[in-house]
Structure 1
Amino acid sequence: MPAQSLIIDCDPGQDDAVAILLALGSPQDVELLAVTAVAGNVPLTRTQENARSVVSLAGRQDVPVYAGSDRPLVRPLVTAEYVHGKTGLDGADLPSPAQPLAGGHASQAIIDIVRSRPERSVTICPVGPMTNVALAMRLAPDIVPRIRQIVLMGGAIGLGNITPAAEFNIYVDPHAADIVFRSGVPLVMHGLDVTHKARCTPERLERIADLGTAVGRAVYGMLTFYGKYDQHRGAGGGAPLHDPCAVAYVIQPDLFGGRDCHVAIEVASEPSIGRTLVDWGGVTGQAANCKVIDTIDDDRFFEMLTERLARL
């Protein structure tokens, strides 16, 4: 099959970085058209620079990186340096970006790319807050039916990880998520229920380190630092590798399983704002708007990830 056309919208973040590298190591499966950066794990000044550093690490300065929104649509920005470190990519000595930012706002880049490509040919992978994607939809409603699918990392069927109700990416900009989930674009959601099954065990990290490449060393360092947060919390089994799950689904969807559900975003109740209300049992009678992923073949996932990183 021809490679799928892909935009990664992200807030790097160590796991975002690995998601970008997974896409860049899979050119036969995905054509990475652009990386668009948004504020989230760290502020936009960091996320746009981090995205360019990761692209430079892979030697792919041909992939444009656009800076987007520096704050959510409505709420103040919440960041997660307590997980990712001050830079967002602590744990690795990455190269300085070898290319400047591409001109223009990330949301306009999304609009231009989707309009320029054949209808329903572009997949968007938001693995951070969905501010850029929601703005693109509001600025140019004509692109909505042209998008092939949105494969996102965010949400949860069950409990959250920043509040008892909400997962971080959705919590940071729930109003943007609400726009995306109401858009009618085919959605595939990788929430905490599946990403917590993709654990960076010491054995899996050692296999990445054993690649002996600059990319392997950088990923090992980043994910070792990233895992400290879960260690401090007393969570065993290694840190969950959230964002690469979404890109892996685009490459090899048979690694995952899930169910078509109706999903709504809570935007009104402050104690539960950002919760993804997943109608897993079909009790509301509302039509499904999202494929919600809940299973992963984690051994095959890490085998594929390590093999693709080895290509860079």
Structure 2
Amino acid sequence: MRDLICITDPGQEQAVALLAILASPEDFRIKAIVASAGNTTLDHTVENVFKVLELAGEPGRGIPVHRGVPKPLLRPLVTAAHVHGETGLDGYDFPPVTGTAEDESGVAAIIRLCREAAAREPHSLTIAQFSSMTTLAVALTEAPDIAEGIAEIVMMAGAYFEVGNITPAAEFNIYVDPHAASIVLESGIPIVMLPLDITHQLRNTRARLDAFSALGTEPGRAVDAMLTFSETFDLEKYGWDGAPLHGPVVPLYLLRPELFHGRQINARIETASELTMGMLVADWWQITDLPKNIFYARDVDADPFYAELLSRIARL
């Protein structure tokens, strides 16, 4: 059983990731969900978290939802409405939400929960990082001691072999706030990076999407509808048989790490050049003697990945 803080900006594929986590109560104890600005604005992502919770039948379970930092540390907010729609979660007709965010901010919640974890059992809390890293970076800057409560940060972020998806050089989650990403990567906390190099191996073919609808459940139909909406941009962009799947790599790594293959490397973030802003400078070939600060996943076993994801969504 993992104690988990989810930092997310849903986003259709992140909604699927949250559903997989919510479907696995024997594996995850969700201490908090922190909504981030990124795929869309903070007001929308807060509402989107509740859409997912309520779709999964979770509004009464008491999972606290907190508002993260609404904009990057130093740069204007960049969103991805061109992929996810204006709400960030277009494609499925969600009913109006009933939940409301906690008064405690996301930064304060992360600091409190990490300190509580450190006092109870050091290095026992997992951060599931799906989005830009602003809120986590602010928490680490305000309270560096919270690292004592964190076992690892598992993030969907970055790219080396596949390079960029929002600019020619940068992956979106890092590009939104490269300065925050740099703070997190330099924190000394164990980090697992699940980059575009693996998400581009996970393609939402029509057969894979139809399998979710074939479950005959509302969450299954919602997964199909959401991913069908968000794939339009990527299908035109890449010309593949299915759009890449990003967010669910985080819970699937936590559930089935043997499906992922990579190695420890040093990685840094470009924060000075506008041409390559947000680029992940990954020392895959160990050219430098810099300390290895992340586990970088290079490959994933796609068929068992989708089978596991489908089995989790089938539980809802």
TM-score for the superposition, normalised by structure 2: 0.96
Match status 1:297 vs 2:301: yes
The unaligned stretches of length 5 or more in structure 1 are none
Distance 2:304 2:58 in 1: 26
Alignment of 1:134 with 2:137, yes or no, is: yes
Q: Distance in 1 between matches of 2:31 and 2:96?
A: 21
Moved more, 295-304 or 231-240: 231-240
Runs of 4+ off more than 6 Å: none
SS of 1:236's equivalent in the other structure is coil
Q: How does 1:130-169 map to 2 (within 5 A)?
A: 130-158=133-161, 159-169=163-173
Counterpart of 1:32, as a letter, is I
Secondary structure of the corresponding residue to residue 160 of structure 1: coil
Equivalent positions of 1:47-196 (< 5 A) are 47-61=45-59, 62-117=62-117, 118-158=121-161, 159-196=163-200
Task: Determine the structure 2 residue equivalent to 1:233.
Answer: 237
**1:74 counterpart letter in structure 2:** L
Residue 277 in 1 paired to residue 281 in 2? yes
Distance 1:98 1:311 in 2: 23
Do the aligned residues in 1 keep the contact of 2:115 with 2:148 (CA within 8 Å)? no
Unpaired runs of 5+ in structure 2?
none
* CA-CA distance at 1:52 after TM superposition: 1.1
From 33, 36, 40, the equivalent of 1:35 is 33
Q: For residues 46 and 311 of structure 1, what CA distance do their matches in structure 2 show?
A: 27
Percentage of pairs with the same residue: 46
Q: 1:56 touches 1:95 (CA, 8 Å); kept in 2?
A: no
The alignment's C-alpha RMSD in Å is 1.0
Q: Which whole-Å CA distance do the structure 2 matches of 1:98 and 1:56 have between them?
A: 8
Q: Partners of 1:180 and 1:307 in 2: how far apart?
A: 33
Secondary structure class of the residue paired with 1:272? coil
User: Residues 167 and 192 of structure 1 are in contact (CA less than 8 Å); yes or no, is this contact kept in structure 2?
Assistant: yes
How far residue 98 of structure 1 moved from its aligned partner, in angstroms, is 2.7
Question: What are the superposed Cα offsets for residues 34-56 of structure 1, whole Å, 9 maximum, x if unpaired?
Answer: 11111000000100110111011
Distance 2:260 2:116 in 1: 31
Q: How far apart, CA to CA, are the structure 1 residues paired with 2:179 and 2:299?
A: 27
Using the alignment, how far apart are the partners of 1:182 and 1:49 within structure 2?
32
> TM-score, with normalisation over the residues of structure 1?
0.97
- After superposition, give the CA deviation of every residue in 1:96-150 in whole Å (9 maximum; x if it has no partner): 2232112211111111111112211110011110001001101111101321000
Following TM superposition, by how much is the alpha carbon of 1:234 offset from its aligned partner in structure 2, in angstroms?
Answer: 4.7
